[in-house]
Amino acid sequence: MKRAGPGRRRAIVTALLLAPSTLWFVALLVMPLVVVLVFSLGERAPAGGYQAGFTFANYLNLPARLTAFTNTLTLAPVGTLLCLVFAYPLAYFLAVKVKRAKLMLLVLVILPFWTSFLLRTYAWIILLSGKGIPSWLAVVGIEGVRLINTPTAVLIGIVYGYLPLMVFPIYVSLERLDKRLLEAAADLYADPIATFRRVTLPLSLPGVVTGCLLVFILLMGEYLIPQLLGGGKVFFIGNALVDLFLQSRNWPFGSAVAIALVVIMIVAVGLATRWAKHQGATREVSLL
Amino acid sequence: MPDVEFRGVHRRFGPVRAVDGVSFAITKGSFHSFLGPSGCGKTTSLRLIAGFEQPDEGDVLVAGVGMGGVPAYRRPVNMVFQHYALFPHLDVFANVAFGLRQRSPRPTRAELGRRVDEALALVRLAGYGDRRAWELSGGQQQRVALARALINRPTVLLLDEPLSALDRKLRRDMQFELQTLQRDVGITFILVTHDQEEALSMSDSVAIMRDGRIVQFGAPNELYDAPVNRYVAGFVGETNFLAGRVVERQDDRASVRLDDGRVLAAPLSAGGPGLAVGEAAVIAVRPEAIQLWPGGDPAPTPLDQMFEGHIESRIFLGDQIEFAVQGDLGRILARAPKAAISVRGDLVPDTPVRFGWENESALALADV
């Protein structure tokens, strides 16, 4: 009994320390999910909202919102990829090339976060609308460009809004990369391109995977950018959900759409992690 | 034709002259060391050969070919880095194969496997191909780094303080291994080190550097027997220095008046510049050249120089015993084989002693 004492005490302390997060998890994640799951199997009350029932009709009705799904499932991956394409050179520059003023440049990357995301996206409405970029292009002879309320506008907004989230994980993994490895590669006959392909890129892959997952997961639930820059024409699942819950008050159908989104996310993230593990990079993937 | 040659090479970093007008030639197939304290320019010299630095002035030649404008990845040299710089995302096989895979034409799979196995066997790591670098001990990582460089059959192998991260015993073993390896493969090895024992024990030639310049270039025994000045003598083994000014010069010897007024004579170093009367100089006496006996006894043999003092401490060095003697000349180190001392068990600290040396066993050196 005496011997079991310290072990028992340690178990109690562990339980106490984990209790708040467990409660949080159950109250704010599991319970709402259960509610949504139950709702998704119910029926719309005549005046809107939820009415108890057991039917798969809501799920069978999902194709009615196909556009939202296809938009999300194309623009989220494409947006993630675009972020990566823009973020990698920037992160590389900051981590490898910049010697002085590194801190200042890093602050510049996160500086936009200091004002409201809503406000900054509004600013893009002005930039992308007829009196913005299209009118400037007209000056140099490129007429009739339409940006606002197009997928392009949404992608521009995505890259603008999510770039820092992609830059930082990649920056960290490149910063941590031992620069002597680059000299070692050059010493072993690898030209700059081969050095990048065979040393820099593989060693920064954990940062790339983390950044992509981060951006992709957030993009799948994006609402604001398509709402403002897509103008109701380019809408995501998030916009469909708002519409279903607040406008048409069809809670059961909205719940079914939400559950479908969760399932798609689990499958997509699961596949991505498996791929990353296969690349031998997960040792350092910090997000999961 | 020398394998590596510098012709008036300068390399500056801002106001710092890291390499300041250096010229030398390293014989093909030899083991050469750059020796000096940190910041003396030895590592920069190595990096100039590797191509990680370009000279501001002068030429670097490898196997007779000027390396001006040739990037690191096109030079016929390979380097063993100070902390090995093994690729952490690759296993041992892929690390060792890295260089060959960059070559064109790319070797076939079978050829690659054969060469890697051969290289791993050379450093006694056969069968370690599928390990990751971090699973290996320091000594094993060191040998992977060696195999990764040697597999490319470079003209010159560069070693940047390769043994500094190893413990003493392992370092000794690796010193022998490196020497054997160098003789087996017949490639020119160039080592950078701040460890004089390492440089002297392994090398055919040594360049002692200070402030970006080569102070002396020669075989280890030349540096030991004929140092050009006090700096070299101090770097190569332990030496007693008695500082003063030259008061008299003959052809091959000089008399130096010490600060306390004594005048000591000694031959000039064969490697050194001629000393002029009035120049600052030191009389350098190796600890093993000093004879020591109890204060009351007569000298065992008549000596040119004899002084008095008392033993301050004695240190057991294995086969030798080192005494610190405090006396007429300040603090002097003397060293004697254990066999010669064992009969004199009376030479304990605080014992009054007399000591001396023959003028011929000392050297008069410029005090720089």
Q: What is the pLDDT of residue B344?
A: 61
- Backbone region of residue B337 per phi and psi (left: phi > 0; alpha: psi in -120 to 50; beta: other values): beta
The identity of residue B192, as a single letter, is V
User: What integer is the mean pLDDT of B351-366?
Assistant: 92
Residue predicted with more confidence, B333 or A113:
B333
Which residues are registered as beta bridge partners of B65? B62
Closest Cα to residue B288, out of B337, B241, B222, B341?
B337
Residue percentage of chain A with pLDDT more than 90: 74
Residue A287 has a pLDDT of 40
Strand partners, B314: B323
Whether the predicted pLDDT of A31 surpasses 70: yes
Nearest CA in chain B to A180: B85
The residues, ordered by sequence, that sit 6+ positions from B320 with a Cβ below 8 Å of its Cβ are B288, B335, B336, B337, B338
Tell me if B99 and A188 make a contact (CB, 8 A cut-off): yes
Across A238-260, b (16+ Cβ under 10 Å) vs e yields bbbbebbbeeeebbbbbbbbbbb
Domains recognised in chain B with CATH numbers:
4-225 (3.40.50.300), 238-368 (2.40.50.100)
pLDDT digits (tens, 9 = 90+) for B43-100: 999 999 999 999 999 999 999 999 999 999 999 999 999 989 999 999 999 999 999 9
- The number of helices, as runs of H, and strands, as runs of E, in chain B is 9, 20
| For range A225-243, the mean pLDDT | 92
Q: What pLDDT does B167 receive? A: 83
pLDDT of residue A41: 95
Question: Sorting pLDDT into bands at 50, 70 and 90, what band is A199?
Answer: very high
Which carries the bigger pLDDT value, residue A284 or residue A247? A247
- Number of cross-chain residue pairs from A and B with Cβ atoms under 8 Å apart: 58
Q: Chain-centre distance of CA A50, in angstroms? A: 30
Tens digit of pLDDT for each residue in B230-249? 999 998 888 999 999 999 99
CB B145 within 8 A of CB B84: yes
- Confidence band, pLDDT 50/70/90 cuts, at residue B163: confident
Q: Which of B46, B80, B86, B87 would you mutate first to test chain A, the one with the most A CBs within 10 A?
A: B87
Interface test with B, best of A177, A188, A199 (most B CBs within 10 A): A188
| pLDDT at position A192 over 70 | yes
Strand-strand pairing, B16-26 and B4-13: antiparallel
Q: Residue B316 is inside which H or E element, if any?
A: strand B305-316
Distances in whole angstroms, Cα of residue B59 to Cα of each of A197, B8, B34, B159, B235: 32, 7, 18, 21, 28
Q: Indicate the average pLDDT of chain B.
A: 91
Nearest-neighbour CA in chain A from B74: distance (Å): 6
Integer-rounded Cα Rg, in Å, for chain B is 25
Q: What is the DSSP letter of A46?
A: T
Look at residues B316, B307, B296 and name the one whose alpha carbon lies nearest to residue B240. B307
Q: Which residues fall within 8 angstroms of residue A163, CB to CB, at 6 or more apart?
A: A83, A86, A87, A90, A109
Do the Cβ atoms of A203 and B98 come within 8 Å?
Answer: no
Q: Report the residue of chain B nearest A184, measured CA to CA.
A: B85
> Could you report how far apart the first and last alpha carbons of chain A are, in Å?
39
Compare all CA atoms of chain B with the CA of A282 and give the residue at the minimum distance: B89
How much is the pLDDT for B297? Answer: 81
Question: What was the pLDDT predicted at B158?
Answer: 97
Which residue do the tokens 């950078």 mark? B192
Sequence spans of domains, chain A: 41-284
Read off the amino acid at residue A175: E
- Identify whether the C-beta of residue B165 lies closer than 8 Å to the C-beta of residue B82: yes
Query: In degrees rounded to 5, what are phi and psi of residue A158?
Result: -65, -50
Q: Label residue B106 exposed, middle or buried (CB < 10 Å: 0-12, 13-18, 19+).
A: exposed
pLDDT digits (tens, 9 = 90+) for A251-265: 999 999 999 999 999
**CA torsion, ordered B230, B236, B239, B245, to nearest 10 deg:** -10
How far apart CA B24 and CA B4 sit, in angstroms, is 8
Q: How far is CA A70 from CA A210, A216, A264, in A?
A: 24, 15, 12
Task: Give the separation between CA A166 and CA B21, rounded to whole angstroms.
Answer: 48
Q: How far is A179 from chain B (nearest CA, A)?
A: 9
Question: What pLDDT score does B338 carry?
Answer: 76
Best residue of B46, B78, B98 to probe chain A, by most A CBs closer than 10 Å: B98
- Whether B79 sits inside 8 A of A194 (CB atoms) is no
Distance from CA of B133 to the nearest CA of A (A): 13
* pLDDT at residue B260, rounded to an integer: 87
Q: What is the pLDDT of residue B342?
A: 54
For the segment A134-153, what is each residue's pLDDT rounded down to a tens digit?
888 988 888 888 899 999 99
Minimal-distance CA residue of chain B relative to A202: B89
Supply the pLDDT for residue B345: 63
Using pLDDT thresholds of 50, 70 and 90, give the confidence band for residue B341. low
Question: Residue A4: pLDDT above 70?
Answer: no
Q: Kindly report the number of other CB atoms within 10 A of residue B347's CB atom.
A: 18
Fold of A41-284: MetI-like fold (1.10.3720)
Closest partner residue to A186 among B73, B87, B149, by Cβ? B73
Residue with tokens 């993009």: A219
pLDDT score of B35: 95
Residue A282 above 50 pLDDT?
Answer: no
Fill in the amino acid letter for A134: P
Smallest Cβ–Cβ distance between A189 and the set B50, B73, B88 belongs to B73
- Cα B278 to Cα B257: distance, rounded to the nearest angstrom: 10
